[in-house]
Structure 1
Amino acid sequence: MQSRTVSTLLTRPVLVCGALLFPMLADAGEADLVAAKVTKTGADTYRFDVTVAHEDTGWDHYANVWQVIGPDGVIIGERVLAHPHVNEQPFTRSLSGVTIPPDITGVTLRAGDLVHAFGGAELRIELPVEAGQSVTVSN
Protein backbone atom coordinates (compact mmCIF):
# COMPACT_ATOMS: atom_id res chain seq x y z
CA MET A 1 0.00 0.00 0.00
CA GLN A 2 2.79 2.38 0.88
CA SER A 3 4.59 1.84 -2.44
CA ARG A 4 1.35 2.57 -4.30
CA THR A 5 0.96 5.88 -2.43
CA VAL A 6 4.57 6.83 -3.16
CA SER A 7 4.08 5.90 -6.81
CA THR A 8 0.94 8.05 -7.02
CA LEU A 9 2.71 10.96 -5.32
CA LEU A 10 5.59 10.75 -7.80
CA THR A 11 3.44 10.21 -10.90
CA ARG A 12 1.28 13.29 -10.46
CA PRO A 13 4.15 15.84 -10.44
CA VAL A 14 5.72 14.16 -13.46
CA LEU A 15 2.45 14.36 -15.41
CA VAL A 16 1.89 17.98 -14.39
CA CYS A 17 5.44 18.97 -15.38
CA GLY A 18 5.05 17.18 -18.70
CA ALA A 19 1.77 18.94 -19.39
CA LEU A 20 3.37 22.30 -18.63
CA LEU A 21 6.54 21.61 -20.60
CA PHE A 22 4.96 20.27 -23.82
CA PRO A 23 3.35 23.56 -24.89
CA MET A 24 6.69 25.33 -24.36
CA LEU A 25 8.40 22.84 -26.66
CA ALA A 26 5.66 23.08 -29.27
CA ASP A 27 5.73 26.91 -29.19
CA ALA A 28 8.84 26.98 -31.34
CA GLY A 29 6.64 26.16 -34.32
CA GLU A 30 7.74 24.54 -37.54
CA ALA A 31 10.99 25.12 -39.39
CA ASP A 32 10.63 27.58 -42.27
CA LEU A 33 12.83 28.09 -45.30
CA VAL A 34 13.42 31.80 -45.82
CA ALA A 35 15.99 31.81 -48.63
CA ALA A 36 17.99 29.51 -50.89
CA LYS A 37 20.70 29.69 -53.51
CA VAL A 38 21.50 26.86 -55.91
CA THR A 39 24.68 26.83 -57.97
CA LYS A 40 25.37 24.42 -60.81
CA THR A 41 28.84 23.00 -60.14
CA GLY A 42 29.11 20.38 -62.89
CA ALA A 43 27.20 18.48 -65.56
CA ASP A 44 24.44 17.25 -63.24
CA THR A 45 25.71 18.44 -59.83
CA TYR A 46 24.61 21.35 -57.66
CA ARG A 47 25.44 23.15 -54.43
CA PHE A 48 22.56 24.37 -52.24
CA ASP A 49 22.90 27.16 -49.66
CA VAL A 50 19.70 27.14 -47.61
CA THR A 51 18.58 29.57 -44.91
CA VAL A 52 16.32 28.14 -42.19
CA ALA A 53 14.36 30.02 -39.52
CA HIS A 54 13.13 28.19 -36.43
CA GLU A 55 12.79 29.22 -32.81
CA ASP A 56 15.13 26.50 -31.55
CA THR A 57 14.68 26.01 -27.81
CA GLY A 58 17.54 23.54 -27.26
CA TRP A 59 18.25 19.85 -27.78
CA ASP A 60 14.59 18.82 -27.43
CA HIS A 61 13.24 21.11 -30.18
CA TYR A 62 15.42 22.37 -33.00
CA ALA A 63 15.52 22.39 -36.80
CA ASN A 64 17.37 19.17 -37.54
CA VAL A 65 17.18 18.71 -41.33
CA TRP A 66 16.49 20.27 -44.70
CA GLN A 67 15.82 18.42 -47.94
CA VAL A 68 15.89 18.79 -51.70
CA ILE A 69 12.73 17.20 -53.14
CA GLY A 70 12.22 16.27 -56.80
CA PRO A 71 8.99 16.88 -58.72
CA ASP A 72 7.90 13.29 -58.03
CA GLY A 73 8.30 13.75 -54.25
CA VAL A 74 11.54 11.76 -54.02
CA ILE A 75 14.26 13.11 -51.70
CA ILE A 76 17.23 14.03 -53.90
CA GLY A 77 19.45 15.50 -51.20
CA GLU A 78 19.39 15.96 -47.44
CA ARG A 79 21.40 18.07 -45.00
CA VAL A 80 21.20 16.84 -41.41
CA LEU A 81 21.63 19.59 -38.82
CA ALA A 82 23.43 18.11 -35.83
CA HIS A 83 22.74 20.71 -33.13
CA PRO A 84 20.40 23.55 -32.09
CA HIS A 85 20.94 27.08 -33.40
CA VAL A 86 19.32 28.91 -30.47
CA ASN A 87 21.42 32.08 -30.81
CA GLU A 88 21.89 31.96 -34.59
CA GLN A 89 18.58 32.67 -36.33
CA PRO A 90 18.01 32.44 -39.17
CA PHE A 91 21.01 30.33 -40.18
CA THR A 92 22.41 29.13 -43.50
CA ARG A 93 23.92 25.72 -44.21
CA SER A 94 25.19 24.22 -47.46
CA LEU A 95 25.06 20.89 -49.24
CA SER A 96 27.37 20.21 -52.20
CA GLY A 97 27.56 17.40 -54.72
CA VAL A 98 23.81 16.96 -55.14
CA THR A 99 23.27 15.01 -58.37
CA ILE A 100 20.07 15.88 -60.22
CA PRO A 101 19.06 14.30 -63.55
CA PRO A 102 19.04 16.74 -66.50
CA ASP A 103 15.30 16.30 -67.08
CA ILE A 104 14.53 17.93 -63.69
CA THR A 105 14.41 21.73 -64.04
CA GLY A 106 13.27 22.69 -60.54
CA VAL A 107 13.07 21.32 -57.01
CA THR A 108 11.31 22.02 -53.73
CA LEU A 109 13.24 22.68 -50.53
CA ARG A 110 11.81 21.99 -47.08
CA ALA A 111 13.06 21.98 -43.50
CA GLY A 112 12.06 19.88 -40.52
CA ASP A 113 12.41 19.96 -36.76
CA LEU A 114 12.42 17.34 -34.02
CA VAL A 115 8.86 18.02 -32.80
CA HIS A 116 6.83 18.80 -35.93
CA ALA A 117 8.88 17.04 -38.62
CA PHE A 118 7.95 18.92 -41.83
CA GLY A 119 5.22 21.44 -42.47
CA GLY A 120 6.78 24.91 -42.36
CA ALA A 121 7.31 27.27 -45.30
CA GLU A 122 8.90 25.58 -48.32
CA LEU A 123 10.67 27.08 -51.32
CA ARG A 124 10.46 26.12 -54.98
CA ILE A 125 13.61 26.90 -56.95
CA GLU A 126 14.48 26.56 -60.63
CA LEU A 127 17.85 24.99 -61.38
CA PRO A 128 20.51 26.98 -63.23
CA VAL A 129 21.33 25.73 -66.72
CA GLU A 130 25.07 26.41 -67.07
CA ALA A 131 27.90 25.37 -64.72
CA GLY A 132 28.90 28.33 -62.55
CA GLN A 133 25.44 29.92 -62.69
CA SER A 134 23.36 30.47 -59.55
CA VAL A 135 19.69 31.06 -58.83
CA THR A 136 18.44 32.65 -55.60
CA VAL A 137 14.92 32.70 -54.10
CA SER A 138 13.44 33.94 -50.83
CA ASN A 139 10.13 34.06 -48.96
Structure 2
Amino acid sequence: MFKRSLILASLAFATPALADPPSIVNVTVEQLGELWKFDVTVRHNDSGWEHYADAWRVLGPDGEPLGTRNLAHPHIEEQPFTRSLSGVRIPDGVTEVSIQARDSMDGWSSDVVTVPLR
Protein backbone atom coordinates (compact mmCIF):
# COMPACT_ATOMS: atom_id res chain seq x y z
CA MET A 1 0.00 0.00 0.00
CA PHE A 2 2.82 2.41 0.86
CA LYS A 3 4.52 1.85 -2.53
CA ARG A 4 1.28 2.59 -4.39
CA SER A 5 0.78 5.85 -2.50
CA LEU A 6 4.35 6.87 -3.17
CA ILE A 7 3.97 6.17 -6.90
CA LEU A 8 0.74 8.17 -7.10
CA ALA A 9 2.35 11.06 -5.23
CA SER A 10 5.33 10.97 -7.60
CA LEU A 11 3.04 11.07 -10.63
CA ALA A 12 1.22 14.09 -9.23
CA PHE A 13 4.49 15.99 -8.98
CA ALA A 14 5.62 14.85 -12.44
CA THR A 15 2.71 16.46 -14.28
CA PRO A 16 3.22 20.04 -15.45
CA ALA A 17 1.73 22.70 -13.21
CA LEU A 18 -1.18 24.56 -14.71
CA ALA A 19 -0.52 28.28 -14.69
CA ASP A 20 -3.25 30.86 -14.55
CA PRO A 21 -3.71 32.84 -17.75
CA PRO A 22 -1.69 36.03 -18.03
CA SER A 23 -3.39 38.96 -16.36
CA ILE A 24 -3.23 42.65 -17.16
CA VAL A 25 -2.28 44.43 -13.94
CA ASN A 26 -2.04 48.02 -15.18
CA VAL A 27 -2.33 50.05 -18.38
CA THR A 28 -1.27 53.61 -19.05
CA VAL A 29 -2.15 55.31 -22.31
CA GLU A 30 -0.64 58.40 -23.89
CA GLN A 31 -1.66 60.11 -27.10
CA LEU A 32 1.30 61.25 -29.19
CA GLY A 33 -0.14 63.32 -32.04
CA GLU A 34 -2.38 60.99 -34.05
CA LEU A 35 -0.83 57.85 -32.57
CA TRP A 36 -1.03 56.22 -29.14
CA LYS A 37 1.46 54.66 -26.73
CA PHE A 38 0.46 51.85 -24.35
CA ASP A 39 2.44 50.78 -21.27
CA VAL A 40 1.01 47.45 -20.13
CA THR A 41 1.92 45.58 -16.96
CA VAL A 42 1.41 41.81 -17.19
CA ARG A 43 1.56 39.12 -14.51
CA HIS A 44 1.97 35.45 -15.40
CA ASN A 45 3.49 32.46 -13.68
CA ASP A 46 6.17 32.02 -16.35
CA SER A 47 7.92 28.66 -15.95
CA GLY A 48 10.46 28.95 -18.77
CA TRP A 49 10.58 28.81 -22.55
CA GLU A 50 7.86 26.16 -22.67
CA HIS A 51 5.25 28.34 -20.91
CA TYR A 52 5.44 32.12 -20.62
CA ALA A 53 3.44 35.27 -21.40
CA ASP A 54 4.52 35.90 -24.98
CA ALA A 55 2.35 38.82 -26.17
CA TRP A 56 -0.34 41.37 -25.45
CA ARG A 57 -2.51 43.31 -27.88
CA VAL A 58 -4.76 46.33 -28.18
CA LEU A 59 -8.26 45.55 -29.47
CA GLY A 60 -10.78 47.97 -30.94
CA PRO A 61 -14.46 47.92 -29.87
CA ASP A 62 -15.23 45.34 -32.57
CA GLY A 63 -12.44 43.03 -31.35
CA GLU A 64 -10.16 43.92 -34.27
CA PRO A 65 -6.46 43.98 -33.25
CA LEU A 66 -5.01 47.50 -33.51
CA GLY A 67 -1.51 46.62 -32.31
CA THR A 68 0.40 43.70 -30.82
CA ARG A 69 3.42 43.70 -28.51
CA ASN A 70 5.29 40.40 -28.82
CA LEU A 71 7.34 39.42 -25.79
CA ALA A 72 10.64 37.79 -26.72
CA HIS A 73 11.44 35.74 -23.61
CA PRO A 74 10.13 34.44 -20.28
CA HIS A 75 10.04 36.82 -17.31
CA ILE A 76 10.54 34.31 -14.51
CA GLU A 77 12.41 36.68 -12.18
CA GLU A 78 10.54 39.85 -13.22
CA GLN A 79 6.90 39.66 -12.16
CA PRO A 80 4.87 41.59 -12.89
CA PHE A 81 6.61 43.27 -15.82
CA THR A 82 5.79 46.29 -17.99
CA ARG A 83 6.40 46.66 -21.71
CA SER A 84 5.42 49.42 -24.13
CA LEU A 85 3.94 49.64 -27.60
CA SER A 86 4.06 52.92 -29.51
CA GLY A 87 2.65 53.97 -32.85
CA VAL A 88 -0.82 52.48 -32.40
CA ARG A 89 -3.38 54.11 -34.67
CA ILE A 90 -6.85 54.33 -33.09
CA PRO A 91 -9.76 54.93 -35.49
CA ASP A 92 -11.64 58.22 -35.14
CA GLY A 93 -14.54 58.10 -32.71
CA VAL A 94 -13.16 55.20 -30.63
CA THR A 95 -13.36 56.14 -26.95
CA GLU A 96 -12.11 52.89 -25.40
CA VAL A 97 -9.98 49.89 -26.29
CA SER A 98 -9.33 46.52 -24.68
CA ILE A 99 -6.03 44.87 -23.78
CA GLN A 100 -5.64 41.11 -24.02
CA ALA A 101 -2.61 38.96 -23.10
CA ARG A 102 -1.40 35.64 -24.51
CA ASP A 103 0.81 32.86 -23.24
CA SER A 104 2.85 30.41 -25.28
CA MET A 105 0.92 27.33 -24.16
CA ASP A 106 -2.74 28.37 -23.92
CA GLY A 107 -3.00 31.22 -26.43
CA TRP A 108 -5.03 34.39 -25.97
CA SER A 109 -6.66 34.78 -22.56
CA SER A 110 -10.42 35.17 -22.43
CA ASP A 111 -9.86 37.99 -19.90
CA VAL A 112 -9.60 41.50 -21.33
CA VAL A 113 -9.18 44.88 -19.65
CA THR A 114 -11.11 47.81 -21.08
CA VAL A 115 -9.25 51.11 -21.11
CA PRO A 116 -10.87 54.52 -21.73
CA LEU A 117 -9.08 56.90 -24.08
CA ARG A 118 -8.90 60.55 -23.09
Q: Which amino acid aligns with 2:100?
A: R
Q: Does residue 83 of the first structure (1) align with residue 66 of the second (2)? A: no
What is the correspondence of 1:36-115 to structure 2 with a 5 Å cutoff? Answer: 36-43=27-34, 45-115=35-105
> Higher strand proportion, which one?
2
CA distance in 1, matches of 2:110, 2:50: 18
Identity of aligned residues (%): 45
CA distance in 2, matches of 1:32, 1:118: 11
- Any gaps of 5 or more consecutive residues in structure 1? 1-16, 129-139
Task: Kindly indicate whether the alpha-carbon contact (under 8 Å) linking 1:32 and 1:120 is maintained by their aligned counterparts in 2.
Answer: no
Higher CA-based Rg: 1
- Any gaps of 5 or more consecutive residues in structure 2? 1-10
CA distance in 1, matches of 2:43, 2:110: 10
Normalising by structure 1, report the TM-score.
0.72
1:12 matched residue in structure 2:
none
Over aligned residue pairs, what C-alpha RMSD do you find? 1.7
**Residue number among 23, 43, 46 corresponding to 1:32 in the alignment:** 23
Normalising by structure 2, report the TM-score.
0.84
Q: Does residue 117 of the first structure (1) align with residue 107 of the second (2)? A: yes
CA distance in 1, matches of 2:110, 2:94: 24
Aligned length: 107
